[in-house]
Amino acid sequence: MPNFKRTKFACYLAYFTMSSVFCLPPLLFVTFREMYNISYTLLGTLVLTNFCTQLLVDLIFTAFSKHFNVKAVVRIMPLITSLGLAIYALVPAFFSHIAYAGLLIGTVIFSVSAGLSEVLLSPTIAAMPSDNPQRDMSMLHSLYAFGVFTMVTLSTLFLKIFGNGNWMFLTLFLALLPVIASVLFFASPMPDMSGGESTADTHKSKKRNLGLAMCVGCIFFGSCAENTMSNWISSYMENALNIDKTVGDILGMAMFAVLLGIARISYAKFGKNICRVLLVGMIAAAACYLVVGFSNSTFFAFLACIFTGLFTSMLWPGALIMMEENLSGVGVAAYALMAAGGDMGASLSPQLMGIVVDKVSATDFAADLAVSLNLSVEQIGLKAGMIVTSIFPIVGAVLVAVTVRYFKKHKSQA
């Protein structure tokens, strides 16, 4: 039997380096605005382009996974990340008059790789023989969280020491790391990911499809709960809690990521009964959002923001584990569909939060409430956004309970 230890390490490294795709651009937005005079609207378009590209890749693999050489794609995937980051850095550096074009092209390229990573790394890990497949899946997703923490810390220190004008050297350094993962992939055996999905009778197939759809719903609501806070925690702490931005980023955003990673590592080592973990995580996440929205205490709101990372930590990987436990023999297409559900949640929920903040802040009700509570209308809008966001983990908890009951009822047919 082939030894997949090096392959597994390559997956972990690829997932770790993928965090640069998500973290680096927002950290450089102020630099881009100052150096290249790029508007906030165009900078926001880069984020939208990132998520839309990933979602498109998810959908393509959902429909056409059988037409791809999956093993070859996994091996070259990190090189696509490196190419995107290199273009992202070099075009603005050498052709500042078309800086935005370089940023946009680079974003599209490394977003393709990020989408492929979400679709292919989880089934690669799941396809390897393991004494504890849940541990391996949880470990994979924990490395993304630690990658976020590392990226925020490294970028902050680099830009502080060497100056914002040298941002491209940081980006080029980060572009080298995925090359190591690609070399490891080429030098390692790859597991069979054909999926061997059953061609049983139509009635059984419909039940499997319904079970998969429910898992996609669970990952969607879990992604909403995780990504709304991860995207808004810095702004919320600065504008709603009046915490210094540097302190908010280090103690807020970074600690959110640390708790996310620690919880996933802990589940990898000690965890079991993923369905219960999902249900408790959804309920606790909803409670955190409500505390953030309703509490007048800066201390308790601050803690609730951070601990959302702990409670949402297993919602994305946990939904994948639940699918694997209850739907045997799923292929790459199923993982692609799950990734699409997660990316959809990561795109829509933070956007909804922004819409709620803007709409509520403009109302007379917010103005009157702000006066009575001695807050600004923006603070009222941010609190309202957090309260509205609590709907996602609440609905997610209900869906998890229904899904668990469904799988127990149809266990023999799943």
The mean pLDDT of 163-171, rounded to a whole number, is 92
Give the percent of the chain with pLDDT over 90.
50
The mean pLDDT of 115-122, rounded to a whole number, is 89
Does the pLDDT of residue 376 top 80, yes or no? yes
The mean pLDDT of 19-43, rounded to a whole number, is 81
Does the pLDDT of residue 352 top 80, yes or no? yes
SS3 406: helix
At 364 the pLDDT is 94
At 40 the pLDDT is 64
pLDDT band at 156 (very low <50, low <70, confident <90, very high): confident
- Global pTM value: 0.81
At 194 the pLDDT is 64
The mean pLDDT of 53-65, rounded to a whole number, is 85
pLDDT band at 151 (very low <50, low <70, confident <90, very high): confident
pLDDT band at 1 (very low <50, low <70, confident <90, very high): low
State the residue for tokens 């292919």: 120
The mean pLDDT of 367-392, rounded to a whole number, is 94
How many whole angstroms separate alpha carbon 275 and alpha carbon 339?
19
Give 48-115 as a 3 state SS string.
Answer: HHHHHHHHHHHHHHHHHHHHCCHHHHHHHHHHHHHHHHHHHHHHHHHCHHHHHHHHHHHHHHHHHHHH
How many whole angstroms separate alpha carbon 262 and alpha carbon 310?
8
What domains are there in the chain, each with its CATH number?
1-185 (1.20.1250.20), 200-414 (1.20.1250.20)
Give tens-digit pLDDT for 222-240: 999 998 998 888 778 888 8
How many whole angstroms separate alpha carbon 142 and alpha carbon 379?
32
At 198 the pLDDT is 46
At 104 the pLDDT is 94
pLDDT band at 157 (very low <50, low <70, confident <90, very high): confident
How many whole angstroms separate alpha carbon 336 and alpha carbon 119?
5
Look at 135-144, 218-227, 239-248, 375-384 and tell me which has the smallest mean pLDDT: 239-248
The mean pLDDT of 10-27, rounded to a whole number, is 86
How many whole angstroms separate alpha carbon 409 and alpha carbon 353?
37
Work out the angle between the directed axes of helices 274-294 and 298-312 (0-180°, nearest 10): 160
At 200 the pLDDT is 47
Give tens-digit pLDDT for 258-311: 899 999 989 888 878 899 999 999 999 999 999 999 999 999 999 999 999 999
At 112 the pLDDT is 94
How many whole angstroms separate alpha carbon 120 and alpha carbon 78?
12
Does the pLDDT of residue 201 top 60, yes or no? no
Does the pLDDT of residue 39 top 60, yes or no? yes
How many whole angstroms separate alpha carbon 401 and alpha carbon 414?
17
At 150 the pLDDT is 87
Q: Is the dihedral of CA 110, 112, 113, 117 positive or negative?
A: positive
Q: Which of 135, 102, 104, 117 is nearest to 270 (CA)?
A: 135
